[in-house]
Structure 1
Amino acid sequence: DVDIAKKIAKAVRFSSGGMRYVKGAGFLVRGLAQVSMNLTDFEQTPIHRVFELVKREASRYGVQPISSEIVGLIPKKALEQAAEWFLQVENFDSSLILENRLAAVMGGKMAVGGLRAGVEPFIEQLAAPTAAPGGGSAAAASAAMGAGLATMVASMSRGKKAYAAYERELSDAIARMSQVREELKAAIDLDAESFNTVMKAYKQAKDAPDGESLIKAALKQATNVPLSVAQRAREVMTVAELLGPITNPNMKSDLTTAVALGRAALEGALANVEINLESIKDQGFVADTRHKAEALRT
């Protein structure tokens, strides 16, 4: 009965008071009543949740869906979410899917040889007798790992019935930590590059008429990079602490680690800020930067 499909669509779509990010209408397709839907943000409103609501609404009218179909293309992650929900897989992670793991290895996103192989080159670069990468890059990496842990914990609680009341907070945390994580990963290289730029500026200053300006600009950039890392690290700590009461308590140790990594990154980054400020003659810049740094410590 297409009228039932229209009633279900009305109950499901957001414009009629239903679920956010869902558009829907009822049609007669190939002789069968169909609830046709368009999900505009599957991460905020997952497919499985919409499908379950359609089933519940249908049962009110004494009917049940006999099949579903996908029109056009669908993100792989959306299907992974549905599989996790309907199979009730514990501690599901997309890297457990064989094709995903192979794609990661082939694309260079995951090292062959396990997790150690992925981080070992960076650790060995830190250990090498060269000034860069150094503490600034290590601080950025530490904060990025903290953001990764916070994202993991929030992701593994979002969509679970026990934490349905915190869906918005969890989604916001995932979105923000994902962005912060990318910024921090970029800062790993930026910090090393800014140090090299300072060294280059000192060499060029010997023969350049604007040598002092070159050094000044390079030092300020070398200061702003770790200051930004410190700001992101503080944010990682804040989000990880906020996630504690609204996520699975069995993952408390992961959040504790995230906070600790953020704190280590904060201290390391601010130490790099301070050592650069000692060489900067612009007292206005120095005072403003120290004020920002002090605010992050409290």
Structure 2
Amino acid sequence: MVKIMECIPNISEGRRLDVVEEILAEVRQVAGVTLLDYSSNADHNRTVISLIGEPERVVEAAWRLIVKAAEKIDLDQHQGEHPRMGATDVVPFVPIRGMAMEECVDLAKGLGERVGRELLIPVYLYEKAATRPERRNLAEVRRGQYEGLKESIRTSERTPDYGPSVLGKAGAIAIGARPPLVAFNVNLGTTNLEIGKAIAKGIRGSSGGFVNIKALAIDLSEQGLVQISMNMVDTQGTPLYRALEFIKTEAAHFGVPIVGSEIVGLVPLEAMMDVATYYLGVHDFSSEQILEKRVFGF
């Protein structure tokens, strides 16, 4: 069986689409790697990229992307609503077929060592690759963002796993291994960020909410919105509809409407099936009832 691994790099550029295309071109040049999807958000000033292929080829594509992003993105000039600490902010490896998580961890460590040694970019290993318990959580790794890390990186607590304890314009990067997750955002019809913060606090696992949800409130006041931005780390344990219904209930408490939602990047079919069966009230629905699955066998 051919081993297949996915990588979902997030780069800190979502406005200069010509720069995004230059970075994507590096991925497209790697034989055996498929660029599955990418999504740029100007408010977040961030692009989420999904690529897949055999592990060694995916690692090479990730390396080239990191090199080009470091060349093209200056964190001293970067502004956006999404937390970030690096030009390439995060690079997670996800086992898809024929791979154990431990293999993804080893590849993350190998890439991290190379980035630190050759590019002199500080690297933090996170999630399953973390070398410290507190670094399993990306939010903790990225605490203080680029600006705050400039000072705190000199402390023993924030010493990177690879690379120097000093930040250049490319910032730092988190490299790790994790299971698949879904990036799910819900927009509130308000500009009151405090309402968004209260709802995000209520839903995220670290503050007593759903253990499978990481969430923060993002100010999109120029659009007349506040966004609840979530990483759904286990959509079987906590389905998308459960997160949406919780946010609906909390928003109604504040007299605020839900005005839309979005999924950034890719989503497993099973996660969308759960949503459809919940809202349609369908009983005993099976993936075998999906026409394309029966015809094409995917």
On whether the aligned pair clears a TM of 0.5, the verdict is: no
- In proportion to residue count, which structure has more helix? 1
- The TM-score, its normalising length taken from structure 1, stands at 0.34
Higher strand fraction: Structure 1 or Structure 2?
Answer: 2
Q: TM-score, normalised by structure 2?
A: 0.34
